[in-house]
Amino acid sequence: MAPHLNIVPSMFVLLLLFISASKVQSDAFDVVAKFGAKADGKTDLSKPFLDAWKEACASVTPSTVVIPKGTYLLSKVNLEGPCKAPIEINVQGTIQAPADPSAFKDPNWVRFYSVENFKMFGGGIFDGQGSIAYEKNTCENREFRSKLPVNIRFDFVTNALIQDITSKDSKLFHINVFACKNITLERLKIEAPDESPNTDGIHMGKSEGVNIIASDIKTGDDCISIGDGTKNMVIKEITCGPGHGISIGSLGKFQNEEPVEGIKISNCTITNTSNGARIKTWPGEHGGAVSEIHFEDITMNNVSSPILIDQQYCPWNKCKKNEESKVKLSNISFKNIRGTSALPEAIKFICSGSSPCQNVELADIDIKHNGAEPATSQCLNVKPITSGKLNPIPCSGPVPKTPSASA
């Protein structure tokens, strides 16, 4: 009976794959063959792409928009649902944004809005051509930055799978996930120069059930940044670096931020970054809550701050330095984290004086300083729960007197 039981499911899976393949072929909307797009790197893809999307979205059977191999110029596209049936985009080519930042009047380039049962795949590239924007994007030039586009936005998207897609040289964030449910981003490649400002790899907020799996992220800011309202999230098998690490926050900057809870980050490798596993909140400002955050099985290679809770987060020294953070942190663990630190301070727990961190756990930590000095650990307003091998010794170093200025 056992062999029979193994064969039947296999045959059923093959049958489903055959039906799926036939359906995709019969309901494919090719932007070149059917809608006149040109892969010449000069002709705007916006209208053919949008026309293909509208027709596919109106189909009562599952459909696929196909962008064949080649290089396409895309000025901007807003792809809206709801659609009448599941919809896919098979991106095989390279899609390029206008290089001149002045072509954009708002922070959108490719945006998916209010879509359910969606898949994007194909090995294609979204190239933001951000080099001109990097030169002008400074902390003083806020108006300029407010108009820079994110490479790909997913807003109010439910039940989605994004696979085998590359985001390159975004002018601002590469991928932004907002108000989404049950969305998986898998085998993504994200790349931008290590000095490119505000080019977070994947940023999310007010979303639930987000999974980021087996992806390679090289950028100039956080590889992954987790904003308020994010719940029940899994991040695993990520290679990160260069960049600023994997971060919860920053939080507490704005009023009425929603809690962040239920985040697990595991089996990641972080290399040559300014931070590793980080939680960051602003001093003063507004309240909030962060709980059930678990970093596990992470390798750090030459990371400046491998393990960091920073409730005095103060980029560019623009914060209320003399006030305590109002964001409450609880039930946070760092387990089986090993590797090397570029600076002696391998672990920093700088918690709020008015609301000390609760139930912070360190277990099986082995981080060595690359230099001659031994690695140290700093603690302020927290008494971590410890177990297993611990290097450096918890709370063995002096606490900094001034807020951090890290980005």
Catalytic residues: 244
Alpha-carbon distance of 342 to 350, in angstroms, equals 19
Query: In this structure, what is the dihedral angle of CA atoms 170, 131, 65, 61, given to the nearest 10 degrees?
Result: 20
Distance (Å, whole) CA 131 – CA 250: 25
CA–CA distance, 101 with 103 (Å, rounded to integer):
5
Name, in order, each residue with C-beta under 8 angstroms of 391's C-beta and a sequence gap of 6 or more: 365, 366, 367, 368, 375
Q: What is the DSSP-derived secondary structure letter of residue 243?
A: B
Exposed / middle / buried, residue 52 (Cβ in 10 Å: 0-12, 13-18, 19+)? buried
Structure tokens at 84: 């009448």
Mapped onto helix, strand or coil, the DSSP state of residue 56 is helix
275 close to 245: Cβ distance less than 8 angstroms: yes
